[in-house]
Amino acid sequence: MASLITRLDTTDADFSRKLTSLLAFEASEDEAIDRAAAQILASVKTSGDTAVLEATNRFDRLNASSVAALELTQEEMQAALASLNTERRTALETAAARVRAYHEIQKAECGSAGFSYTEADGTVLGQKVTPLDRVGIYVPGGKAAYPSSVLMNAIPAKVAGVKEIIMVVPTPDGVKNPLVLAAAAIAGVDRVFTIGGAQAVGALAYGTATIPAVDKIVGPGNAYVAAAKRRVFGVVGIDMIAGPSEILVLCDGTTDPDWVAMDLFSQAEHDELAQSILLCPDETYIEAVQASIIKLLPDMPRNEVIRTSLANRGALIKVRDMDEACEIANSIAAEHLEISAENPQQWAEKIRHAGAMFLGRYSSESLGDYCAGPNHVLPTSRTARFSSPLGVYDFQKRSSMIFVSEQGAQTLGKVAAELAYGEGLQAHARSAEFRLKS
Ligand SMILES: NC(=O)c1ccc[n+]([C@@H]2O[C@H](COP(=O)([O-])OP(=O)(O)OC[C@H]3O[C@@H](n4cnc5c(N)ncnc54)[C@H](O)[C@@H]3O)[C@@H](O)[C@H]2O)c1
Ligand SMILES: N[C@H](CO)Cc1c[nH]c[nH+]1
Ligand SMILES: [Zn+2]
C-alpha cells in the first residue's frame, strides 16, 4: 500500500525537485489536445452549425438532426424543476439563494457603482461600470453532471446585470441531468444548448446560424475546453483557463484523520488528474491519515478515479512546522486551501496565494463547492498567484469618463500639446491647441 500516495519530507535533499515534478503536467498530452481543439475550432469557424452538429454527434454519441434540435426549451427546464423531490429542490434553492446573497454583497463592495470626482476648474473624471451584453457559460458534463456549476456561473452574471446568458452543457449519450436543467431554471439562464467540448466554445466565440456569438465565455471544463478557450481569447473574453481540481490541506494534526482523508478524496474523485496534498508537521498524524485513506477508499464508489489521482498526483508531506507549511502553500498557490488547525486565522494571515481558503476543521472544501456562497470557479495550476475567483466583476467592464471644462482645456491643452510635439504628433498638438483661447 506504500505506493497508494507519495510521502515526502521537506528535510529530504531533493524535496524541491520532487515537489516541482509532482505539480507539473504531462506537456506532450497537452499539445495533442491543443491540436485537436484547434482543428475543431477551425471547422466551427468555417462550417458553423454543420461542424458543431458533426462534432457533437461524434464525441457525445448523439444522433441529432440539427443544432436547433439540441436547444432545450424553457418548458423543459421548468418541468425538470417541477420533477425534483422536495429535499433536492430545497437544497438547490437554498444553495442558489446563498450564492446570490454573497454575490449581491460582492457587487456592492467591489466598485460596481463606478466613481467620479470634480476638479477645481469644473473638469469631471471618473469610471463607468457596465454589465456585458451577452455571455456564454460552459457547464461541464462529460464525466459527471454539475448543477452547482450552473449556479456558480449564471448567478454572478445575473447579479452583474448581464442581459442574455447562453449556457452550453454536453449530454453524452443524450442523457439530460434534471438537476442541471432545474439549476438553469432557478438561475434564470436564457438559452441552453446541449453541446460541449471545443465545438461549444467555438460556437459561442464565432457564432453560428443557430447559436449567437457571445462577448465572454466563462466556466470550467476538461483539457479540450481549456485549450479552446485559450485559443478564442481575443475574439471573446474568457474568465480563466481552469485545470483539474486541487485541494491542499494544511493541518496541525488536531483534526480527525478520517475527515482530512475524505477532504483529500473530495477533490481526487473529480478527475484522475486532480491533485490532493496534505502538509503537516506531525509524522504520527500523517501515518494516521494514510491509515484512514487505506480504510475509507474501498467503500468510495469512485475509488478508481481517487486511487489514480492520489497515486499519480497526491502527496502527504511532512513539514518542519506550520510556518514552513504556509511558505510551501504560497508556492503551490492551490485552488482550494483548507487550514485545518486550532486558530486557523493566524496561519491564514501568512497565506498570499490560494483560490479559496477554508478556515478551521468544520469548513470542509465541499461546503464551498455547493452552498457556502463564494464562487467555486477558482484559479488552478498555480494561477492563484495572479488571478481571482469568478465573480460579479468578471461580468462587468469599465469605461473611463472624461469631461474637460473650457477652463480645464486651457491648462490641459498646453500640457498635451507640449508632449505631442515631443512625440512628433502634430495633429494631436493642434487638436489640443485649437481649444486654447488665443
Ligand atoms: N473548476 C471548477 O469549478 C470545476 C467544476 C466542475 C468540474 N470541473 C472540472 O471540469 C472537468 C470536466 O470535464 P468533463 O470531461 O467531465 O466534461 P467537459 O464538459 O469539460 O468535456 C466533455 C466534452 O469534451 C469533449 N471531448 C471528449 N473527448 C474528446 C476527444 N477525444 N476529442 C475531442 N473532444 C473530446 C466532448 O465534446 C465532450 O462533450 C473536470 O476536470 C472537472 O474536474 C471543474
Ligand atoms: N470542486 C470543483 C471545483 O474545483 C467544483 C465542484 C462542483 N461540484 C463539486 N465540486
Ligand atoms: Zn468539488
Ligand 1 atom, smallest distance to 146 CA:
6
pLDDT computed for residue 30 by the predictor: 84
User: Which residues make Cβ contacts (< 8 Å) with residue 313, sequence separation at least 6?
Assistant: 22, 273, 274, 275, 276
Q: How far is the CA of 218 from the centre of ligand 2 (A)?
A: 15
Cβ < 6 A, ligand 1 pocket: 36, 59-60, 140-144, 146, 149, 170, 196-197, 220-222, 224-225, 242, 244-245, 270-271, 376-377
Q: 360: left (phi > 0), else alpha (psi -120 to 50), else beta?
A: left
Q: How far apart are CA 326 and CA 347, in angstroms?
A: 7
Active-site entry in 335, 338, 365, 376: 335
**Closest C-alpha residue for ligand 1 atom 29:** 59
**Closest C-alpha residue for ligand 2 atom 5:** 369
Q: What is the dihedral of CA 316, 321, 327, 333, to 10 degrees?
A: 30
Please tell me whether 423 is known to bind a ligand. Answer: yes
pLDDT at 26 over 80: no
User: Which residues make Cβ contacts (< 8 Å) with residue 410, sequence separation at least 6?
Assistant: 435, 436, 437
Tell me what the mean pLDDT of segment 349-358 comes to: 98
**Closest C-alpha residue for ligand 1 atom 39:** 196
What are the tens digits of pLDDT across the range 13-25? 999 999 999 999 7
Ligand 2 atom, smallest distance to 242 CA:
4
What are the tens digits of pLDDT across the range 387-437? 999 999 999 999 999 999 999 999 999 999 999 999 999 999 999 999 999
Contact (Cβ atoms closer than 8 angstroms) between residue 20 and residue 323: no
Active-site entry in 103, 246, 336, 338: 336
Q: Give the number of the ligand closest to the Cα of residue 265.
A: 3
Best CA proximity match to 214, nearest among 225, 197, 229: 229
Q: Is the CB of 271 under 6 A from ligand 2?
A: no
pLDDT computed for residue 299 by the predictor: 98
Partners of residue 366 on adjacent β-strands: none
What are the tens digits of pLDDT across the range 84-102? 999 999 999 999 999 999 9
Share of the chain above pLDDT 90, in %: 96
Ligand 1 atom, smallest distance to 40 CA:
33
What are the tens digits of pLDDT across the range 106-165? 999 998 999 999 999 999 999 999 999 999 999 999 988 999 999 999 999 999 999 999
pLDDT at 27 over 70: no
Contact (Cβ atoms closer than 8 angstroms) between residue 376 and residue 104: no
Band (pLDDT 50/70/90 cuts) for residue 2 is very low
335 assigned to active site? yes
- Mean pLDDT, the chain, rounded, equals 96
Please tell me whether 222 is known to bind a ligand. Answer: yes
Lowest mean pLDDT among 19-33, 230-244, 335-349: 19-33
pLDDT computed for residue 1 by the predictor: 42
Instruction: Mark 209-248 as b/e (b = at least 16 C-beta within 10 Å).
Output: ebbeebbbbbbbbbbbbbbbbebbeeebbbbbbbbbbbbb
Band (pLDDT 50/70/90 cuts) for residue 63 is very high
Q: Is the CB of 274 under 6 A from ligand 2?
A: no
Lowest mean pLDDT among 23-37, 280-294, 405-419: 23-37
Please tell me whether 270 is known to bind a ligand. Answer: yes
Q: Is the CB of 369 under 6 A from ligand 2?
A: yes
31 assigned to active site? no
Ligand 1 atom, smallest distance to 380 CA:
1
Instruction: For residue 419, give the amino acid letter.
Output: L
**Closest C-alpha residue for ligand 1 atom 14:** 142
pTM: 0.96
Band (pLDDT 50/70/90 cuts) for residue 243 is confident
Q: Give the number of the ligand closest to the Cα of residue 169.
A: 1
